[in-house]
Amino acid sequence: MNWQELDLFNPTDEHLMLRQTVKEFTQQEVEPQAEKFDRDEKFNLPLFRKLGELGLLGITVGEDYGGSNMDPIAAVIAHEELSAADPGFCLAYLAHSMLCVNNLSVNGNEEQKQKYLPGLCSGELVGCMAMSEPHVGTDVLGMKTTAQKKGDHYVLNGRKMWITNGSLDEDKTPADCVLVYSVTGEANGRAQISTFFVDKNCDGYSVGQKIYGKTGMRASNTAELVFDNCKVSSQALIGKEGDSLIHMMRNLELERLTLAAMSLGIARRSIEIMNRYASEREAFGRPLSYFGQIQKYIGDSYAEYMAAKTYVYDVARKMKVHSGGQRLDSDGVKLVASTMGKNVADRAMQVLGGYGYVSEYIVERLWRDAKLLEIGGGTIEAHQKNITKDLAGQL
């Protein structure tokens, strides 16, 4: 299938060239290693660093800091293409490029950006973002990690859970840099959340447990991060105390857009696989694609995929990296696309029958990976709540 020539999804020559570049890299470098690293539950760090050579690790960052200075459509293209082969690897890419690098680029001061962004964009440094905790996820204001100011520094205490890129290897080497959300006080009866940029050289910053046995996304490392009297300079504070909710809102839109793009990659690959299989496999003397139920699986999947893809790229076209302005529809695209990707992967597995249930045909891995996108970066229930609230506010 060749859908990449449609102008809606490749509006400029630059976007088309980017898609072709990432697609070629994915086929030559990402696809061959995907099954092994998923099976071993390991993060392919050397391959990840190659994304820096392609300019993908700082895709939305200004050229002055080593980035590619591209737009949200470019970010969507990169995530869609990588996820068509290895969503787990792509999730590690998203955690670095969107949750950490773009976040710092948008919210950090000049000194912080000059110090860290070049290394993050090249792949010399690997970053992550730490928000969720062992007892709290969506309820951000319920977090327990604290940052207490003492003179010219802060002391962080707490634990963060489910952190993608939290650990880079089997020796529990922590990520080089992590954006940490912490409570710095209380204002108007609510927790005051602040953001700190912590690097691995800070005493008291370590990896707790590495998380194995995940249903999917196994090619991305997930870990608990521990901050035990972790001393950081006051220069590590991003913005001012209490700015974290603003930082989250600025970055969540692009995060959710690119998570939706990952679902597009999963769905597209699933459709390609089941379409080919249904055309080649026969039952009762006819190809599977002759039978109405199989036609329904393929037809519904293609229509739902194209509808979601159109929505995703339309929102990407309207979104600005530094100002957002698409909160309602960033929730909308992830709500629609995440469930669509899961359902399409499920249909592909059904079409392939027993072959769909084993790793040879890839769809079982895509199916496992797809479920996380209904949970991570905001659950589908959170999106439903946000959309309802925003629509009510328009009355």
Domains in the chain with CATH codes: 13-122 (1.10.540.10), 127-244 (2.40.110.10), 245-393 (1.20.140.10)
Place of tokens 């045909």: 361
Please tell me the distance from the alpha carbon of residue 123 to that of residue 93, in angstroms, as a whole number. 11
Cβ atoms 67, 249 nearer than 8 A: no
Give the C-alpha distances (Å, rounded to integers) separating 381 from 133, 211, 252, 340, 346: 19, 24, 16, 15, 21
| Closest C-alpha to 386, from 140, 97, 186 | 140
**CA 356 to chain CA centroid, nearest Å:** 25
pLDDT tens by residue, the chain, 395 residues: 444 555 789 999 999 999 999 999 999 999 999 999 999 999 999 999 999 999 999 999 999 999 999 999 999 999 999 999 999 999 999 999 999 999 999 999 999 999 999 999 999 999 999 999 988 767 777 899 999 999 999 999 999 999 999 998 777 888 999 999 999 998 888 889 999 999 998 999 999 999 999 999 999 999 999 999 999 999 999 999 999 988 888 788 999 999 999 999 999 999 999 999 999 998 899 999 999 999 999 999 999 999 999 999 999 999 987 666 788 999 999 999 999 999 999 999 999 999 999 988 899 999 999 999 999 999 999 999 999 999 999 98
Nearest to 316 by CA among 261, 388, 385, 379: 261
CA gap 174, 263 in Å, rounded: 28
Given 41, 80, 224, 255, which residue is catalytic? 255
255 counts as catalytic: yes
Torsion, Cα 152 156 162 165, to 10 degrees, reads: 40
Provide the token pair at 91.
């999730």
Distance CA(174)–CA(228), nearest Å, equals: 14
- From the number of C-beta atoms within 10 Å of its C-beta (0-12, 13-18, 19+), residue 156 rates as buried
